[in-house]
Amino acid sequence: METQKLEVVPEPEASAPAAGPRVMTGAEMLVECLKREGVEIMFGYPGGAVLPIYDALYGSGIRHILTRHEQGAVHAAEGYARVTGRPGVVLATSGPGATNLVTGIADAYMDSTPLVLFTGQVATDLIGSDSFQEADIIGITMPITKHSYQVRDAADIPRVVREAFHIAATGRPGPVLIDVPKNVANQKAVFEWPERVFIRGYNPTYTPNPTQLSKVTEAIRESRRPLLYVGGGVVHSGAAEELREFAHKTGIPVVSTLMGLGAFPSADPLFVGMLGMHGTFAANRAVMECDLLIAVGARFDDRVTGKLERFSPHSKKVHIDIDPAEIGKNVAVDLPLVGDVKRVLSAMLPEVGPVGTKAWIDQIRAWDEQWPLGYKAEPGVLKPQQVLEMLWDATRGEAILTTEVGQHQMWAALFYRFKRPRQWVTSGGLGTMGFGFPAAMGVQLAKPGETVICVAGDASFQMNIQELQTVAENGLPVKVAIINNGFLGMVRQWQQLFYDRRYAESRVGAPDFVKVAEAYGIRGLRAQTPEEAREAIREMLAHPGPVVVDFVVPEEENVFPMVPPGAGTDEMIGRWDD
């Protein structure tokens, strides 16, 4: 009998079930949103209200930098944002964790730095009951954020995060805060990612008005002593190339605010210098004598204008800015032009040509020769200006500089000649001591192959000195140059000049910075003479890891020139060679 063979017919493969909705906790949604926004590095400090979020971060692939203070976290995020142009991300717990962010949030708001900050909050049923570690962080920060959210439903997290990153980075950049109650972080909901963002009432103007554009180009053609006054908006817009092309095509000289440094190369023949309270004589005189002042991404702040009644009295004023609220706020302007600086300059380029500024530029150069920037060198004495010149020479002007706030900040601005945008990271509007060192950490994380130098004062460095542990732990090769004069230097300078040398509480004691650095496992060096300074800088730059150098300088060295308080920018004092 023949054996019958059974043919086995494979069953058809079951089709994969259709992907259903993804259910996640609010914390898991938040982390997924960060990934979709391309966040690779964030800064923060954990606490009870954000434990669900930290648990979701565990193993997520997002690098979290644990700073040793929340203020250090927000300044580090600012540094990251300032050199990348992308929002820095911060996570802090409720109550004191959130309030420790306030100074950094205000700093970012004043300097138009894009940040997205997440704070923990007590559970929704406890809000308003003065529960443990509760603080109304929305109310506290409302005046210093571009926008704020408090999430009450986990399903809203994807939309809120998407909107927050959009708001932070578009128009005039700035900080956006998202407050997440703990029960919302634990709540489960369906994750729905919005591919597009539409926010009613939020539509920044990027393209300039053609009529206004024509009026501005006509004013440029008619001018004989035009001047470009450029600010941080040029950097934020990524308009440095267009600015250079515009200046070279027209022949218009350029002055810069503190925040605008690097937007136009300092070595360019058309660059006059920084204007304002500690600007150069030539820059401030040019502002006084020009017949057309073109403000590009600048906001006419008081450190630039001095006494308003005396500011640039002979000029027709053009103001180009993406934020219409800035136009006419401090100084009345003749030709407002709302739009993105990059687009505005691009639109004007085909419409302008050489203005004929040779005589004007010759006059500006004569002022610069008459009142040059400098300092008195003394044998065997290390001057702070020398330190900055040595740093510039040793780095060939290629380092990224961050600074704290005070005299050392002004010396860095005046004596380190910047080549490119996003090479200069400082606190301008708020003037925050303690900014520079943690900002340098963020810069170094964003630009791991770059030389990053924090120029600090002995007082400012102590504000966030605890971040030496963060630098050591993460192997960040940040170089710290402390300009150590034993004082709150700028406070002392004002007390010397305007308070008859009554140095009330401006002398600041300091630890042995070399020993402090070594206690954290970081190389520490000290220099007290020019020869020692050159060797210390050589060793600092050659060392592959972080280094702290204590440069000991004279106590009563001042930042000159200077516009005294209440004076016009034509009333500068303090020729260095007097």
Instruction: Characterize 522-549 residue by residue with b for buried, 16 or more Cβ atoms within 10 angstroms of its Cβ, and e for exposed.
Output: bbbbbbbebebbbebbeebbeeeebbbb
User: Which of 132, 192, 370, 398 is an active site residue?
Assistant: 132
In 350-407, the DSSP E strands lie at 400-403
Q: Which two tokens stand for residue 52?
A: 């669900």
89 near 151, Cβ under 8 Å?
no
User: Which of 274, 348, 463, 490 is an active site residue?
Assistant: 490
- Name the 3-class secondary structure at 109: helix
User: Which of 28, 42, 43, 70 is an active site residue?
Assistant: 70
Q: Which two tokens stand for residue 542?
A: 């050659």
322 near 340, Cβ under 8 Å?
yes
Residues paired with 190 in a beta bridge: 23
Respond yes or no: is residue 132 known to be catalytic: yes
Residue 133 burial (CB count, 10 A): 16
Q: Which of 160, 155, 159, 152 is nearest to 182 (CA)?
A: 152
Q: Which two tokens stand for residue 467?
A: 């971040």
Those residues whose C-beta lies under 8 Å from the C-beta of residue 158, and which sit 6 or more positions away, are: 29, 32, 33, 191, 192, 193, 194
Q: Which of 280, 258, 254, 231 is nearest to 360 (CA)?
A: 254
User: Which of 43, 146, 150, 182 is an active site residue?
Assistant: 182
Respond yes or no: is residue 490 known to be catalytic: yes
Residue 82, phi then psi, degrees to nearest 5: -65, -30
Q: Which two tokens stand for residue 578?
A: 């007097």
User: Which of 37, 40, 133, 249 is an active site residue?
Assistant: 133
Respond yes or no: is residue 133 known to be catalytic: yes
**Catalytic residue positions, numbered:** 70, 132-133, 182, 490
